[in-house]
Amino acid sequence: MGFFEEYKKQIIMIIAGIFILTALFTAGRKMDASFVDNAFGFVVTPLQEATSGVGKWVQKKVSSAQNKTNLEKENEELKKQIAQLEATVKRLSMYEEENKKLSELLKITPKFPQYTMSGAEIIAKDPGNWYNIFIINKGKKQGLAANMVITAPGGLVGKIVECGNGYAKVQSLLDSRSSISAMSLRTGDLGVVKGDYSLMDSGLCRMEYIDAQAEMMVGDEIVTSHLSTLYPPGISIGKIKEIKTESNGLTKYAIIEPYVDFKHLETILVIQERFDQKNNSEAEN
C-alpha cells in the first residue's frame, strides 16, 4: 500500500487546515489572489462568461423581436397612409378630369352664342361599346324637350328622342335610325348622314345621296346643312374617311368618322331650342 493511501485522511485534514489558516490570515487584507481564489476563479469565470453570453444573446433576441414588432406596426401604418394618399390622388385625378371635360364643354358655347346651352351627364346607355342610345340626367324639369340637339367637344352628338321629368333619352348619329341633312364644308355638296349598323361597331357612320359629280374627297369636313329641319347649320359632324360611287353610277356614298369620341362619352351639352318648331313657325309666316 502506498504512502498516500495509508495516510490519505491525515493529508487531506492537513491541507484543509492550511486552507483555513490561510483564509483567516488573509481575511480583510488586500492581497493577490490566493490559490483557492485562483482555483475558484478558474472554475467560476467560464461559467460567468457563458451565463453573461447567454443573457446577452437572450437580450439581443428580445430586442430584435421588439424591433420587428415595431417595424411591422410602422409598416402597417405606412401602408394605411399610402392607401389614403393613393385614394386622395385618385379623387384629385377624377376632379381634374371632370374639370377638363367641363372646360371642353365651355369651349363649345362661344360657337353658338345665340343659343342657351345646358350641360348634362350620361347616366345609362344601351349595351355595347358605343353610345348610340343613352340616357342623360336632365329632363323636362330642367327645360329639356324632345328633338333638342345634343353636342359635345368635337361636334354633333345627336338629338333627344324622349324626355321625362328628370331624364332624357338621346339618339346619337351612330344609331341606325338617325338621319341628318349634311354637307361638305369645303365644296358645299349635300348628302344625308345616317347611322349604319354594320359601321357602328367601328364608331363610323355613312353619308348617302351624294351627287356623282360632287367634288368631295377624303379628309373633307362634314357639317350640318341649312336644309335640316332639326339641326342648326354648321355643326361639325366628322370627316370623310372613304368615298365611293354607288353601283347605279348616279350617286356616291362616303364613310364618315365622327369628331366626337362615341366610345368614351360622359358629358354633353344640350342646345335648349326646338329647331323643328322654329322652322315650322317661320314656314307658316
**Domain assignment present for 23:** no
Quote the mean pLDDT of the chain. 79
**Domain assignment present for 109:** no
* pLDDT tens for each residue of 12-45: 666 666 656 555 555 544 445 555 455 545 544 5
Which range, of 71-85, 181-195, 242-256, averages the lowest pLDDT? 71-85
DSSP conformation class of 110: G
The whole model's pTM is what?
A: 0.63
Strands (E), the chain: 117-125, 133-136, 149-152, 155-163, 168-172, 179-184, 190-194, 205-211, 221-224, 236-245, 251-258, 267-271
**Domain assignment present for 7:** no
- What pLDDT shows up at residue 76? 79
User: Would you say 157 and 172 are in contact if contact means Cβ atoms under 8 Å apart?
Assistant: yes
Q: What is the mean pLDDT of residues 75-104?
A: 66
- What pLDDT shows up at residue 104? 61
**Domain assignment present for 95:** no
Owning domain of residue 207? 117-275
Per the structure, the count of domains in the chain is 1
**Domain assignment present for 90:** no
CATH assignment at residue 147: 2.40.10.350
Contacts of 265 (CB under 8 A, 6+ apart): 122, 131, 134, 152, 157
**Domain assignment present for 14:** no
- What pLDDT shows up at residue 21? 56
Q: By CB neighbour count within 10 A (0-12 exposed, 13-18 middle, 19+ buried), where does 205 fall? A: buried
Which range, of 128-132, 160-164, 235-239, averages the lowest pLDDT? 128-132
**Domain assignment present for 20:** no
CA distance 12 to 147: 126
Q: What is the mean pLDDT of residues 165-186?
A: 96
Which range, of 82-91, 98-107, 155-164, averages the lowest pLDDT? 98-107
**Domain assignment present for 38:** no
C-alpha cell at 251: 350617286
